[in-house]
Amino acid sequence: MTKVTDVIQERTSLPISIYCVWQWWDRHYQAAQGHPDEIDFDWLDATFLGRQRQLHAWFGDLGIGQANPTLDTGFVATLLPYHTMIVPVILGMKIPVQDVGGYQNIPLDEDQMAKLAPVDLAQSPVGELLLAEQAKRLRRYGCATQMIDLASPANNAFSLRGMEFYLDLLADPPLARHYLEVITETMVLAYRFVATHFGRLESVPLANCNVTMISPDVYMEMVRPHDIRFIENAAMSQGLQPRCDLHHCSVPTEPFVEAYRAIPGLRSLQGSVLSDIRKIHAGLPGVDFSGMINPVDLITRPQAEVLSGIDRALEAGVHDLALWDVDPSITPGQLGEFLRGLSHMALRRGREARFSCIPITWEELDWEFPRYHNSGRTPH
User: Please, where are the H alpha helices in the chain?
Assistant: 4-12, 22-25, 31-33, 41-59, 73-76, 86-90, 110-114, 125-141, 153-161, 164-171, 173-198, 216-218, 224-237, 257-260, 277-283, 297-300, 303-316, 332-348, 362-365
> What pLDDT is attached to residue 9?
44
Alpha carbon distance 351, 200 (integer Å) = 33
* 164 within domain boundaries: no
Separation of CA 268 from chain center: 14
Residue 241 lies in a domain: no
Q: Do 366 and 80 meet the contact criterion of CB atoms below 8 Å apart? A: yes
Give the residue with greater pLDDT, 188 vs 83. Answer: 188
Dihedral pair phi/psi, residue 61, rounded to 5°: -65, -15
The pLDDT tens digits for 3-14 are 433 433 455 899
∠ CA 13-14-17, rounded to 5°? 135
pLDDT digit string (tens) for 70-117?
999 999 999 999 989 999 999 999 998 887 778 888 999 999 999 999
pLDDT in tens, 19-49: 999 999 999 999 999 888 778 899 999 999 9
- Let me know if residue 231 belongs to a domain: no
Instruction: Tell me the one-letter amino acid at 211.
Output: V
pLDDT at 379: 38
- Percent of the chain scoring above 90 in pLDDT: 86
Share of the chain above pLDDT 70, in %: 94
For residue 20, list its beta bridge partners. 326
The mean predicted confidence, pLDDT, of the chain is 93
Does residue 142 have a pLDDT over 60? yes
pLDDT in tens, 239-293: 999 999 999 999 999 999 999 999 999 999 999 999 999 999 999 999 999 999 9
Query: pTM here?
Result: 0.93
363-380 pLDDT, tens digit each: 898 888 766 554 334 433
Residue 373 resides in a domain: yes
Does some domain include residue 376? yes
In a domain, 253, yes or no: no
The number of folded domains in the chain is 1
Q: Please indicate, yes or no, if residue 338 is contained in any of the structural domains.
A: yes
Residue 223 lies in a domain: no
Its domain, for residue 368, covers 1-71+319-380
